A and B are shown apart, each in its own frame.
Chain A
Amino acid sequence: MTEYSFSTLIYAALTIISTIGLYQIIALFQHKFNTIWLQPMLITILSTIGILSWQEISFKDYFESSWALNALLEPAVVALGFPLYQHLETIKRQWKSIVFVLFTGALIAIISSFLITMVLVGDYSISVALSLKSVTTPIAIAIAEQLDGNVAITAFAIILAGFFGAIIGPLWLTFINVTSPKAQGLAIGAASHAIGTSIVSKISHEHTAFASLALIVSALITAIISPFIITFLTSLL
């Protein structure tokens, strides 16, 4: 029994050290070559998937070994409260407009994703999954279950939306002349939740503050309005 737990511990330590090591090496390359495609989180995830399938290691084993890393996610998200605190005064002054902008955004996101998926794929549970993809994982999963959405596809689409918005978002927003850090942060937080927020935190503190804010407010709004919108849209179709 002790031997078993000792080797589990060694595996866990090795898994975590190699994950962090790989991540840091890619981060170093990204810094050196300055390209958006060398996103450390994305590349580490893809290479780990590659290694797991190649070595025929089950995800369950990997996830158990990397448990500690996953557990750090919670305090890491809590830490995003710091940039939010730094910009609290600005946010207080613009509270109403921020909520209004994010409410409209959530409405557009849910309706467009649900309808487009209904038309193209024609599957209700996938449509629900995609209409929730801009929301942070724990909330989206809870809503997906409540509305009989496909939970696995919800989780997958959330990660996709996180990377699309965070990697190409700043370039796209600058291209369409949205250059204000507040507007960029808000847009990326609303579209790409915690993954987006953690990636744009490299750009500026203002980005992080507004992205964290959008992450919270959008999640709340979506949790409240999505059941009504989806029931309503389903009754129309």
Chain B
Amino acid sequence: MSFKKSELFNAAYSVFALISCVIVGRLLAYYIPTLPGSLYGLIVFTFTLHFRLFDADRIKATVIWSIKHMGVCFVPAGVGIINHLDLIKQHGIAIVAITFVTTFVLLTAVGLHYQRYETHKKSLLKP
């Protein structure tokens, strides 16, 4: 029973940690509007864990669960495409084709470039 209680406590603790980072993120976005609040919040969360302001062991289970299921939160925004069906009918094929091709160009460029750097680094470390 006490185990169950502590699990519940950890979940509440994690929610508190996430919400405080969301609030700090929003404040930052208000004063320095370079990045949106959620990205500031992400950075703040990383650093609060790094500097042990929040206990990562307590947070781990809840946060991993949230990340596993976060996809569903994108659904309402994604359904928003329905508002632009006319534009999509008009230029759809071109937009889809160009997005497809350039996304692959970007994936390839970043992936190859970084992996080349990684293997280069490894070969330098070898005697």
Chain A CB within 10 Å, residue with most, of B74, B102, B109:
B102
Is A139 a contact partner of B36 (Cβ separation < 8 A)?
yes
B76 interface residue (CB < 8 Å to A): yes
CB of B78, distance to nearest CB on chain A (Å): 4
Q: In the complex the two chains form, what is the Cα distance from A178 to B80 in whole Å?
A: 34
Residues from 144 to 199 in A contacting B, C-beta threshold 8 Å: 150, 152-153, 155-157, 159-161, 164-165, 169, 172-173, 176, 178-180, 182-184, 186-188, 190-192, 194-195, 198-199
Which residue of the partner chain, among B44, B83, B105, B114, contacts A98 with CB atoms under 8 Å?
B114
Chain A interface size, under 10 / 10 to 19 / 20 to 34 / 35 or more: 35 or more
The closest CB in chain A to the CB of B33 belongs to: A142
What's the Cα separation between A44 and B105 when bound, in Å? 28
Whole-angstrom distance between the alpha carbons of A78 and B63 in the complex?
10
Minimal Cβ-Cβ distance residue in B for A84: B46
Task: Considering the complex, give the chain A residue whose CB is closest to the CB of B21.
Answer: A78
- In the complex, which residue of chain B has the Cβ closest to the Cβ of A19? B75
Neighbouring B residues of A186 by C-beta, 8 Å: 110-111, 114
Across-interface contacts of A75 in B (CB, < 8 A): 18-19, 22, 41, 66
- Shortest Cβ distance from A183 into chain B, in angstroms? 4
Q: Given known contacts A78-B18, A97-B117, A153-B84, is B111 in contact with A83 (CB within 8 Å)?
A: no
A130 to B112, CA, bound (A): 23
Interface centre among B22, B50, B98 (most CB of A within 10 A): B98
Taking CB atoms, residues of chain A closer than 8 Å to B50 are 85, 88
B124 in the interface (beta carbon within 8 A):
no
User: Hey, which chain B residues are within 8 Å of A157, CB to CB?
Assistant: 95, 99
| Docked complex: B67-101 residues within 8 A CB-CB of A | 67-68, 70-84, 87-88, 91, 94-96, 98-101
- Partner among B41, B45, B76, B82 whose Cβ is within 8 Å of the Cβ of A70: B76
B113: Cβ under 8 A from any A Cβ: yes
Q: Cα distance A74–B50 when bound, in Å?
A: 21
What residues on A are CB-neighbors of B104 within 8 Å?
164, 172
Which residues of chain A come closer than 8 Å to B96, judged between CB atoms?
160
Contact yes or no, A153 B35, CB < 8 A: no
Structural contact, A41 and B74, CB atoms closer than 8 A? yes
Instruction: Decide if B60 touches A82 in the complex (CB within 8 Å).
Output: yes
Question: Is A20 part of the contact surface with B, judged by Cβ < 8 Å?
Answer: yes
**Does A155 contact B80, Cβ atoms closer than 8 Å?**
yes
Residues of B contacting A109 with CB < 8 Å? 102, 105-106
Query: Which residue of the partner chain, among A63, A94, A101, A105, contacts B76 with CB atoms under 8 Å?
Result: A63
Q: Is the CB of A79 within 8 A of B45?
A: yes
- Listed residue (B66, B78, B83, B110) with the most chain A CB atoms within 10 angstroms of its CB: B110
Residues of B within 8 A of A234 (CB): none
